[in-house]
Structure 1
Amino acid sequence: MDVLYNVVQYILGFGAAVFVPLIMLIIGLLCRMKFADAFIAALTLGIAFTGMNVVINFMTGAITPAAQGLADATGIALPTVDVGWPALSAIAWAWPYGVLCFPLLIAINAIMLTTNTTNVLNVDLWNAWTKLCTCVITYYLCSSAGMAEGLAIAMGFIAAAIQIIAELKIGDAIQPTIENVTGIPGVTVPHALMLTCTIVLPFELILQRIPAIENNKVDAKWLRSKIGIFGENSVMGFIIGLLLGAVAYRELQAALTLAIQAATALTLFPMVSKLFMQALSPISDAVGDFMKKRFAGKQLIIGLDWPILAGSNELWVTTVLLIPFELVFAFLLTPLGNTVLPFAGIVNICLAPVLLMMTGGNLTKMLIEGIIVTPVYLLASSSFAPYLTELARTFSPDSLAGIDQNAMITWATLETPDFRWSVANALSGHLPGIICFIVWVVLFVALMKFFKKRNEKLATA
């Protein structure tokens, strides 16, 4: 176990910006690309990931103090600390059995490819921790329910396996939408965050029946055509940043600084995103040609991390506009059990890609659906706080450094909160969890049918 742990940790230590391009280089060479072409494509992909992370961190660093200012202005104070995803990843990997999620992901993907139950080859192995997070939460809930240690561990890995299968299936389903939105062929996002499409589905179906919302086609291009420069990324970022800064800081210099920072981020996102297309298109073409020659009728889709979607202007406009609602809900939902004020997760990158996939970039629907679903993140992350805090104290005390010993920790915008809460509580024998998980599975089946119909329309178009 120690040897496997050290091997996996060494591989993951490269980080997504090195590990994923390395895998893509190997895939390109196996598909008979020239080394120079495969190397340039892989290198460009690494640059794209690095550039996107730089811009995301820049934007998060600018927005988080403003969120703190908004909270201070309203006097909101809650007992759970939002530590973001890095701390949760450290806690998950510190679990003694966590390393087994890495080969589990590879094995399930290989079996599903062999049995033709998926076309997705998930090379985003760096995000194996998202499966592990579900695994360790389920294990802890099962242990707390009085299950034997061995059974609790088994339940954890069953939850992880269910998530892996669901991610691959949704990766198949959303690929045409991703190609339509980004222009990048042959790639998809089999990521945990996409599972939240399941609970967004009912609201999407309702909004589709409202002509004034469904037919307005409000997206970034529409805004530019109707309101001129006010629809430009830079101007929208400046206005949103200025308004947020004015309320948070109530001081002109700080407000203007945030306005320029937001304008910078919204301008750079689509620029960096073009690198993904530049890197992935030649590899996708090579994979397609290879499959046609050797496996007639067989398609292979490359599964990557969500930043390949980050060039969407609608994604970032929605993300920023949802920030005030997150803070308001944090206060309003305290009677229902919310204990966390979002800071590290204030830029909810786990929700906006979901909304982009469900609506195809309709800004009106993205904002409405985002407002409706945001409370799920806060309530689920709050419910997990006691367990995550205890797990951190047991397996990863370093992740609690600098945090009051009486405080709890969580990730306010914990990805796929609907799936994680329902599957963990269902497998631990919690009746509401069992009911919610059954409903979730029914909705997931409906989601597959929803995307099948959409994909047929996209193919026809």
Structure 2
Amino acid sequence: MLEALQNFFNVFGASIVVPIMIFIVSLFLKVAPKRAFFSALRAGVGLTGFGWVISAFTPLVTKYVQQMVESAGLNLPIVDIGWQTGSLTAFSSSIGLSFFVFGLLIELVLFLLGITRVFVPSNLWNNFGYMIWGTMAYAATGNFVLSFAFMVFVLLYSLIMSEVVADRWSDYYGVKNATINSIHNIETLIPALVLDPLWNLLGINKVKLNPESLKTKLGIFGEPMTLGFILGLIIGILGSLKELGKMEAWGGILGFAMSLAAVMTIFPLITGVFASAFGPLAEAVERNKKKESEAEAEVAAKKRWFIAVDDGVGFGEPATIIAGLILVPIMVAVSLLLPGNRALPVVDLIAIPFMIEAMIAVSKGNILKAILNGIVWFSLGLYAASALGPIYTDAVVKYGAVLPAGVALIMSFNLLAHPLTALVFFAWISGNPLYIGITILIYLAFLFLLRTRRESIFAYLRKMADKNSGFEGSKEKIFISED
């Protein structure tokens, strides 16, 4: 059975599996078959578009990042070759596929029992994020039961973060009753919450650095397309410092700048198509809410639930993609200067906009806050990736792909640069009941807080977001079409 499932995912991939899941879930929520079909089709079109743009753009980013590293003359032995290798490894291991089968049942039970109010099966593909951590745990310990239990635990605590950010993410990105839940992108909620009071104390919440203010202050230079071109020039020049006297180098630099301008322009369009795939699902949830009378409004709020959507829904939102792409050269520089770091982010740098959506939503599109939060958290993430690199490499060699020529250690910045998950991982693979017990007790404490004070948490996050100078998010970018 597991081998057949593995062959299925190898053959069809995300662009087919995700639409199938959306179609099934839509019918389950009583969406009209025609709308369900178009939702599924838009999801497939969006994912295909993402794949085309990222696959075309990634080699260009990789080229200039590697040239920057060579110019600096530093040796960072753990090289980022992208999340795709981790996905392949997750779906190639028996423990990963076991979670994909039984994890679906666990997710349904958690939702039906009210332990989480996030409906995960609508974003089933991103379960590979849990699966790769379990595969790494199994490669490190050889203990199937421990590794499977660890995957379930990672699912549990990620669902807390997913639900905490749900109201803000849904409001900012303009998709009602929706949230993100993939473990490789939700953890950035932590620095967004913890560091926000510090940034406010420093007055950063009053800094009007968001897409609207950039357009107003900079004119054409504040447009995402123009910003992409300028950022491309900067990255290209930094990656070609030894070749700036050659005409060929400038041809490459200007070509890269134009490519980045194209990404900044095209991605929001693809995002609009992809996000519309989840519109009917969100509407179905809304219809269920409206059936409640006003007298039952408080009860309805407590019962409010959210559809889990792919992070691609928010990738092309202006503040998200601008902050994410600004962080690309910053994180390369940080990786070169950070004492004790052994990890070099390369391919997954293009995934940074996915990784900062929680930061953007919580700060109401404050680009400066997102950049500062990213520098702090991803710097810690580089240490996490440095520690995890050998284990990740071992898992890939055992279950996944052949390593690139000349590379001994690999990592995925998107999958591994997560300090909290790394700490939990090492606690669990130690096999020490005390360490594992501490992680479980902390989870239970936060679960109790969420289940008893959820509306207060939502209200606090709305108040926190409103302290930032004025940007209402991407509601005009994400649409629900009438089919």
Q: TM-score range by the shorter chain?
A: 0.7 to 0.9
| TM-score calculated relative to the size of structure 1 | 0.86
Secondary structure, counterpart of 1:124 in structure 2: helix
SS in 2 for 1:117: coil
Superimposed CA distance per residue, residues 246-281 of structure 1 (whole angstroms, 9 cap, x where no aligned partner)? 221233222211111111111112222221343322
| Alignment partners' CA distance in 2, 1:447 and 1:13 | 43
Q: 1:153 aligns with which of 137, 144, 149?
A: 144
Q: Shift of residue 9 of structure 1?
A: 4.4
Compared with structure 1, are the counterparts of its residues 185 and 93 closer, same or farther at alpha carbon in structure 2 (3 Å cutoff)?
same
Q: Deviations over 1:292-342 (max 9, x none)?
A: 559983544221211011121122222222222222222223x42x22222
CA distance in 2 between counterparts of 1:281 and 1:309 reads 14
- Cα distance 1:282–1:354, how it changes in 2: closer, same or farther (>3 A)? closer
Matched residue type, 1:154:
V
Structure 1 120/323 Cα, relative in aligned 2: closer, same or farther at 3 Å?
Answer: same
- 1:373 equivalent in alignment to 2:377: yes
Q: CA deviation at 1:22?
A: 1.8
Q: Counterparts of 2:323 and 2:431 in 1: how far apart (Å)? A: 35
1:103-125 deviation per Cα after TM superposition (whole angstroms, max 9, x unaligned): 33212221222212222211221
Q: Does 1:178 align with 2:169?
A: yes
Whether 1:222 and 2:213 are equivalent positions in the alignment is: yes
Equivalence for 1:453: 459
Q: 5 Å matches for 1:288-437?
A: 288-290=286-288, 297=300, 298-333=303-338, 335-336=339-340, 338-349=341-352, 351-396=355-400, 398-400=401-403, 402-404=405-407, 407-415=408-416, 417-429=418-430
Given that 1:12 and 1:126 are in contact with CA atoms closer than 8 Å, whether structure 2 keeps it comes out as no
Structure-2 residue corresponding to 1:80: 78
Cα shift at 1:30: 3.2
Match of 1:235 in 2: 226
Q: Which runs of 4+ in 1 moved over 4 A?
A: 290-296, 430-451, 455-461
Contact 2:191–2:373, Cα closer than 8 Å, also in 1: no
Q: What's 2:154 paired with?
A: 163
Contact 1:382 1:412 in 2 (8 A): no
| Structure 2: unaligned runs, 5 residues or longer | 467-471, 473-483
What percent identity do the matched residue pairs reach? 24
Query: Would you say the 8 A contact 2:165–2:179 is kept in 1?
Result: yes
Deviation at 1:455, TM superposition (A): 5.1
- What is the match of residue 130 of structure 2? 131
| Distance 1:446-1:322 versus aligned 2 partners, 3 A rule | farther
- Going from structure 1 to structure 2, the CA distance change for 1:94 and 1:235 (only over 3 Å counts) comes to same
The amino acid of 1:213's aligned partner reads: I
Compared CA separation, residues 229 and 12, structure 1 to 2 (3 A): same
Q: 1:176 to 1:119 in 2, by over 3 A?
A: same
Residues in 2 aligned to 1:155 and 1:24: alpha-carbon distance in whole angstroms? 32
1:209 maps onto 2:201 in alignment: yes
Residue 165 of structure 1 deviates from its aligned partner by 1.4
Q: Gaps (5+ residues) in structure 1?
A: 144-148
Partner of 1:146: none
Which amino acid letter does the alignment assign opposite residue 373 of structure 1? Answer: W
* Alpha-carbon spacing, 1:445–1:165, altered in 2? closer, same or farther (3 Å): closer
8 A Cα contact 2:378 2:418, kept in partner: no
TM-score, structure 2 as length reference: 0.82
My pick for the range that moved more, 97-106 or 278-287, is 278-287
Q: Is the 8 A contact 1:168 1:190 kept in 2?
A: yes
Aligned partner of 2:190 in structure 1 is 198
Query: For residues 440 and 371 of structure 1, do their structure 2 counterparts lie closer, same or farther at Cα, with a shift above 3 Å needed?
Result: farther
The yes-or-no answer on 1:104 pairing with 2:120 is no
Conserved 8 A contact 1:200-1:373: no
Q: Structure 1 pair 434/363, CA: closer, same or farther in 2 (3 Å)?
A: same
Contact 1:22 1:42 in 2 (8 A): yes
SS of 2:410's partner is: strand
Give the count of matched residue pairs.
445
How far does residue 199 in structure 1 lie from its aligned partner after superposition?
Answer: 4.0
CA distance in 2, matches of 1:292, 1:195: 32
Task: Write the deviation string for residues 9-30 of structure 1: whole angstroms up to 9, x where unpaired.
Answer: 4157432222222222223333
